[in-house]
C-alpha cells in the first residue's frame, strides 16, 4: 500500500513539474508567434535601433525604452548591490542575535510590500526630495534608480546571507588560526567562498529591477525619448507595454508584444550568463 502511495505522490510531483515547464513553453510560444511577425513588418533594425516611438504614424523604435531600462537597472545595481551585500555580511557575521531578530523580519517585510506601495512612496517622498535638493522635476532616471535600489534589497540580502551562512565554519576558524582578525577572516575567506550564492542574489535582484513596472511608471516620467541625463524622465520596456496595452490594436499591439519578446530575451541572457558564471566558478 505504501508503495502505491509513493508512486502516486511521485506522479503528482512529476505532473506539477511538467505544468511549470508547460507554462514557460506556452509563454515563449505566444511571444514568438505574435512578436516575430511584428518585427518582420517593422524591420528588425528599425524596431531595435529606431529612436522614435510614434504609434499614430506607425513608427515603432524601441531603442529609447531599451536604453531607459538599462539606465534604470544600472542605477539600481549601483545603489542596491553594495548596500545589499554589505547588509548580508553584517547579518551573517557581525550582527548580535537580538538585533538580528529585529532586522531579519523587517527585511523580509520589504519583500512583501506591493509594487504600487513602493511607487506611491517614491512619488510622495523621493520625487519631491530629488526635485528640491538635486534638480529636475523629480520624475527621472535617478528617482527610479533609487526606488528600484530599495526594492531589490530583500532579494540580494536574503540570498546572500543564506550563502554566507552555508560556508563551512572551518574557513573562518582557519583564518583566525593563521592570525587574521575577525574582519579579515570574513572578507578574505568567507565572502569569496560564498561568491556564487552572492551572485545568485544579485542576479535575482537585477531580474526584478528589469521586470518592475508599476513603481517605475509612477516615478520615471514615462517619456519615450532617448535618455538625456539622470535628472530627465525616461520610459522602460515594461512601462511602455503597460501604458499602451489598453488601447493598442493591429500593428501597434503586435509591436508591444514584440517589445515583450525583447524583454524576455534580456531575462534569458541574464539567466544564461549567471548559469555560465556559476559553472565556471565551480570548476
Name residue, grid cell 542574489: 201
Structural domain spans, the chain? 53-282
DSSP 177-203: HTT--HHHHIIIIIHHHTHHHHHHHHH
109-151 residue pLDDT tens? 888 888 889 999 999 999 999 999 888 888 889 999 999 999 9
The three-state secondary structure class of 252 is helix
Name the band, by pLDDT with cuts 50, 70 and 90, for residue 283.
low
Asked: is 53-282 a CATH 1.10.3130.10 domain? The reply is no
User: The C-alpha cell of 270 is what?
Assistant: 541574464
> Nearest 5°: phi and psi at 234?
-155, 160
pLDDT higher than 90, residue 83: yes
Q: How many helices (H) and strands (E) does the chain have?
A: 15, 2
| Element holding 59 (H helix, E strand) | strand 59-60
Integer angstrom CA distances of residue 193 from 52, 80, 184, 185: 47, 21, 13, 11
pLDDT of residue 148: 92
* CB burial of residue 10 (10 Å; 0-12, 13-18, 19+): exposed
Amino acid at each position: 500500500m505504501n508503495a502505491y502511495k509513493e508512486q502516486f505522490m511521485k506522479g503528482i510531483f512529476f505532473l506539477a513539474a511538467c505544468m511549470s515547464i508547460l507554462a514557460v513553453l506556452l509563454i515563449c510560444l505566444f511571444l514568438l508567434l505574435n512578436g516575430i511577425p511584428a518585427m518582420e513588418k517593422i524591420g528588425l533594425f528599425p524596431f531595435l535601433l529606431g529612436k522614435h516611438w510614434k504609434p499614430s504614424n506607425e513608427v515603432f523604435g524601441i531603442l529609447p525604452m531599451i536604453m531607459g531600462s538599462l539606465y534604470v537597472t544600472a542605477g539600481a545595481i549601483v545603489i542596491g548591490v553594495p548596500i545589499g551585500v554589505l547588509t548580508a555580511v553584517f547579518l551573517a557575521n557581525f550582527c548580535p542575535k537580538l538585533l538580528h531578530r529585529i532586522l531579519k523580519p523587517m527585511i523580509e517585510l520589504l519583500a512583501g510590500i506591493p509594487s504600487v506601495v513602493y511607487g506611491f512612496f517614491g512619488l510622495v517622498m523621493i520625487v519631491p526630495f530629488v526635485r528640491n535638493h538635486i534638480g529636475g522635476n523629480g520624475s527621472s532616471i535617478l528617482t527610479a534608480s533609487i526606488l528600484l535600489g530599495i526594492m531589490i534589497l530583500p532579494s540580494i540580502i536574503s540570498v546572500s546571507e543564506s550563502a554566507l551562512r552555508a560556508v563551512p565554519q572551518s574557513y573562518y576558524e582557519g583564518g583566525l588560526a593563521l592570525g587574521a582578525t575577525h574582519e579579515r577572516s570574513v572578507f578574505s575567506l568567507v565572502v569569496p567562498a560564498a561568491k556564487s550564492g552572492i551572485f545568485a542574489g544579485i542576479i535575482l535582484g537585477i531580474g526584478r529591477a528589469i521586470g518592475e513596472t508599476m513603481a517605475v511608471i509612477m516615478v520615471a516620467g514615462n517619456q519615450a525619448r532617448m535618455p538625456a541625463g539622470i535628472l530627465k524622465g525616461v520610459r522602460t520596456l515594461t512601462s511602455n507595454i503597460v501604458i499602451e496595452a489598453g488601447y493598442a490594436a493591429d500593428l501597434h499591439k503586435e509591436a508591444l508584444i514584440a517589445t515583450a519578446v525583447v524583454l524576455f530575451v534580456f531575462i534569458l541572457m541574464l539567466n544564461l550568463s549567471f548559469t555560465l558564471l556559476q559553472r565556471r566558478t565551480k570548476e
